[in-house]
A and B are shown apart, each in its own frame.
Chain A
Amino acid sequence: MTEKLRTIIVEDEELARNLMKSFLADNEAIELIAECENGFEGVKQINDLKPDLVFLDIQMPKITGFELLELLEHKPQIIFATAYDQYALKAFDYNAADYLLKPYSKDRLDEAIQKVLERIQTEGKESDVAEKVSDFPKDEYLDRVVVKDRHKIHIAPVDAVRYIESMDDYVMIYTTEGRWMKQKTMKYFENALNPKNFVRIHRSYIVKVDEIEEIQQYEKESYIVILHDKTKLKVSKTGYKNLKGVLNF
């Protein structure tokens, strides 16, 4: 091993950071370049420093480890470290290299690092973490939306989302606080938003049910919805059926 893995720890608890640092101290594969106390700092440091490996806690102030992943422009290898075992499957979906359950031993940590080294050898340094995630876990819905807009991170509760428009590889999220672009598919949001509150009315639109003021027929078999702020959105045939289902008319 000639080149060390440039590593960042994102962990809100000081004691947990200390433990990880001391475990990593004599591991020759690791070069620790930064420690972050919260998710915001994590996003900034990872995008700026472009590390090879990130140790990531899941439950943190401001944004969770999963939300952090969605805001990364640089995709390093990820090893999750958390006391919660219920996120293991989700972490696997996000293509994380490993999942450490606290409290973990030094041997277990070394094993995880070994996995990362093997992965890098076969796949190269850049990982595809969080890129393949288009399916949102079933029976679970988003409760907030996190978007990075140049150097600012916006967090909005799902209730603030008015509608979502597809734009090629991106979606535009219109909220009560402004509109933000995010690299996600419509399919993802269709699964991630509670179908009681959000309805897919068109290939290009998902609308919050409460935002709809009226549904108008403008040709023989086509409809548009008019939102409270007079925005008009096209409704497809399937979309009309979906609306019927949600609104019971």
Chain B
Amino acid sequence: MDFRHPFIKTPRLAITYIAFWLVLAAVLVLVVVSVGETDFLTALTDRFANVILFGFLGVAIWYVIKFSTLEDNSIGRVILAHVIAATIIVLIWLYIGTVIAKLIDPSQLEEENNYLFTGLYNGYLLYTFNVAFFYAVNYYLAFKEKTKNETKLKALVKEAELHALKSQINPHFLFNSLNSISSLTMTDPGKAQEMVINLSQLMRYSLKHDQSEKVTVQQEIDNNKLYLKIEKVRFGKKLNPVFAVEESCLKAEIPNMILQPLYENAIKYGVYEATETIDVITHCTCDNDKLVVTISNTYDKDVLSKKGEGIGLRNIRDRLQVIYGNPHLLKIQDNQNEFTVTLTIPQNL
């Protein structure tokens, strides 16, 4: 818990408080004068000075509220605390008030018999005003704190969600690639070296992604070309990647690593099961407010390993939901020998 006085933390609140008391004092003076009880000067020195003095002392009431909150204490205890605090403050206030009044006008005293009584009455009344003010402040501060925490929490949750949804390079891809490299070291060391470099570059790209959520289409496409190049070493002529990307789209924004699972699926369901060449075609078009990426692959419709929508597509959907608030930006079309995924990425957000 933060025990610093809210006036220190928020000077605006202190100004409001001063204004509150000035207005209250002014109203009281006006009331007293209009009723005709005393002349303006007395009213000003007496009432105004007293009220302002109370406002000054009343700053301390915040601590009473803070240490006897309604949430942590019974109502009886809170009332008791306030009665004690009120009595102490009112007595101090009356004492100082009397001293000041004497300093200003020594003759004025002793005139009123019920001076003490009205003083106490006014004091408690002012104390109640003050308590109301500080309770309001306290609730306002607590509310603000809560909203701040909620926003922070929401941001954290979003970050965690995005992290979980971020596609990771499939470990089997890595092991199979390493096995290919192991083979190439004997037959074609140059190619083995090239593959090690490509693989490193791809891994670096996939690891880097924690830092920036969005990349340019150019970056994303380049890295997926790298991925496909590595897979092509494994699958040879069975895999034929084709790219048709409009020049103007290269600078568009796209969440990183969002395409990789789509290529992985194309390979898993298309290339892997095939015995002939499978084209994996990427189209990229864009206008001012959106980028459309289409990835399609043919597949052998007799292959029966389809197990419905995999975790890869679901993760992309969830990720689009978190980033753009719309899971329908991913569309899937399956016409029994061609599988097409269309991704619409809003621009200029």
Contacts and interface: CB of A to CB of B under 8 A. Distances in A.
Contacts of B180: 13, 15-16
B175 interface: yes
User: How big is the B interface, by class?
Assistant: 20 to 34
B305 A144 contact: yes
A155 interface: yes
Main SS class of interface, B? helix
Contacts, number: 61
A13 B273 CA distance: 12
Contacts of B304: 143-144, 155-157
Interface residues of A, number: 23
Contacts of B305: 143-144
Contacts of B235: 13
B153 to A, nearest CB: 35
A144 B184 CA distance: 35
A62 B236 CA distance: 18
A61 B307 contact: no
Contact of B172 (A61, A62, A83, A157): A83
B187 interface: yes
Nearest to B184: A15
A101 interface: yes
A84 interface: yes
A18 interface: yes
Contacts of B272: 59, 61
A38 interface: yes
B275 A18 contact: no
Contacts of B182: 19, 103
Nearest to B175: A83
A139 interface: no
A34 to B, nearest CB: 18
A22 interface: yes
Contacts of B233: 15
Contacts of A84: 172
A22 B175 contact: no
A15 B183 contact: yes
Nearest to A41: B275
Nearest to B176: A83
B303 interface: yes
A83 B179 contact: yes
B33 interface: no
B187 A18 contact: yes
B176 A102 contact: yes
B178 interface: yes
A30 to B, nearest CB: 17
A13 B181 CA distance: 12
Interface in A88-116: 101-104
Contacts of B181: 103
14 contacts: A13-B235, A14-B236, A15-B234, A16-B179, A18-B183, A18-B187, A19-B183, A37-B275, A59-B272, A61-B274, A62-B303, A83-B176, A144-B304, A155-B304
Interface of B: 172, 175-176, 178-184, 186-187, 233-236, 272-275, 302-305, 307
